[in-house]
Structure 1
Amino acid sequence: MSELTLENRLRRLEALRSIDDLIVDLGRAFDAGPSATELLPLFTDDAVFIIDQYGELKGAQSIADGVAGNAETGFSWTLHYLASPKVELDADSAAGTVEFYLWEIATSASDKAYWIGGRYIAEIKSDNDKWKFSRLELIADLISHYPEGWHEKPAALEKA
């Protein structure tokens, strides 16, 4: 393997940082309603989003609209924790793959509380120096109803 030039090393570091931002932006877009407006720029026009065994969306607009529309029948509120990204970039740092974990707290449209855990596997591309998902797959290892449901935050913490 040849030595990377300083310029190539810098390009790779900038790419890795931008991919971290892409993952953060995905979680925030999911948690913002979800927001079709915030989701749309995160995907390439021909992107594919595979949602475990529950469906597949094709195209950035379809993904944005489909995920945002899920609030009415799927989850009306979510809090995503996307962690431990493992990024592999190609030689020119213009594309790559990333895998990261999901821990999610959610409320369904029927007002039931859920814990969700799993991972995302993605293909990513740089599009005019903006990183986007070209393929995103959710592998849900855990989707568990929490019968007690969520409670309001207490006015004060109890002393142990």
Structure 2
Amino acid sequence: MTHGIEQRLHRIEARHAIGDLVARYAAAADRRNDPAMMAPLFADDATWSSEGFAALAGRDAITQGLAAIAAERVLWSIHYMTPPLVVLAEDGMSADCQWYLWELCTMRTDDGPRDQWLGGWYDGSARMGNDGWKFSRIILDVRLQGEASPPWSLRKPVQA
């Protein structure tokens, strides 16, 4: 199906906006799931889930639940996200998106803090509203998690 220039431009802008949404999500996650940064990323009725972490429904539950995960389990993290694969609906107002995650993190365990690698992928949906693109669904599928050896938290900083 062919689209006019305005429709094509809208679709290009939508893909970029969804990519920015993913990047803002990573930035918020790396700031201990800061609720003030996370809240604007989700629709009121959004869902977020990841086996072993949580199943959350609604923007408030998502922002509070992710902040609790950071406070209780994830002491530090840095998220490396690949650019998302975005499949826009024909009307350009909603989209499915998938992207990979490679994360370095320090997790609280029964034996104390442990530096770990974590990898997997996200499956999500987003939709355009009056205030821009928002996630309506995120599912994190963690496929790899292991202890970093040697752990980075034991390394001494380089002296200048």
Query: Given the two structures, how large is their TM-score scaled by the length of structure 1?
Result: 0.91
Match of 1:115? 117
SS across alignment from 1:62: helix
Segments of 4+ moved more than 4 angstroms: none
Instruction: Indicate the larger mover: 128-137 or 95-104.
Output: 128-137
Q: CA deviation at 1:117?
A: 0.4
Q: Give 1:59 deviation, angstroms.
A: 0.5
- Structure 1 counterpart of 2:60, one-letter code: Q
Question: Quick check: 1:69 aligned with 2:71?
Answer: no
When the two structures are aligned, how many residues end up with a matched partner? Answer: 155
Report Cα offsets for 1:9-49 as digits up to 9, x if no partner.
01001101101110000000000122011001101111110
Local SS of the residue matching 2:19? helix
Paired with 1:52 and 1:123, the residues of 2 have a C-alpha distance of 18
Inter-partner Cα distance in structure 1 for 2:33 and 2:92: 30
Deviation at 1:71, TM superposition (A): 2.0
- What one-letter code is carried by the residue in structure 1 that aligns with 2:158? P
Output the CA distance in 2 between the equivalents of 1:127 and 1:44. Answer: 9
- Distance apart, 1:52 and its partner CA: 2.7
Match of 2:21 in 1: 22
Higher mean Cα deviation, 127-136 or 93-102?
127-136
Name the CA distance, whole Å, in 2 between partners of 1:98 and 1:4: 21
1:43 and 2:60 are equivalent in the alignment: no
Per-residue CA deviations over 1:77-134 (Å, capped at 9, x if unaligned) read 1000110310000011100100000000001133210100000000110111511110
Gaps of 5+ in 2: none
Q: Is the 8 A contact 2:54 2:65 kept in 1?
A: no
Cross-structure match for 1:106:
105
Does the aligned pair in 2 maintain the 1:45–1:60 contact within 8 Å? yes
Residue 147 of structure 1, CA deviation: 4.7
Structure 1 gap ranges (5+) = none
1:135 is matched with 137
Q: What's the TM-score, normalizing by structure 2?
A: 0.91
Instruction: Name the % identity.
Output: 33
Kept after mapping to 2: 8 A contact 1:112/1:147: no
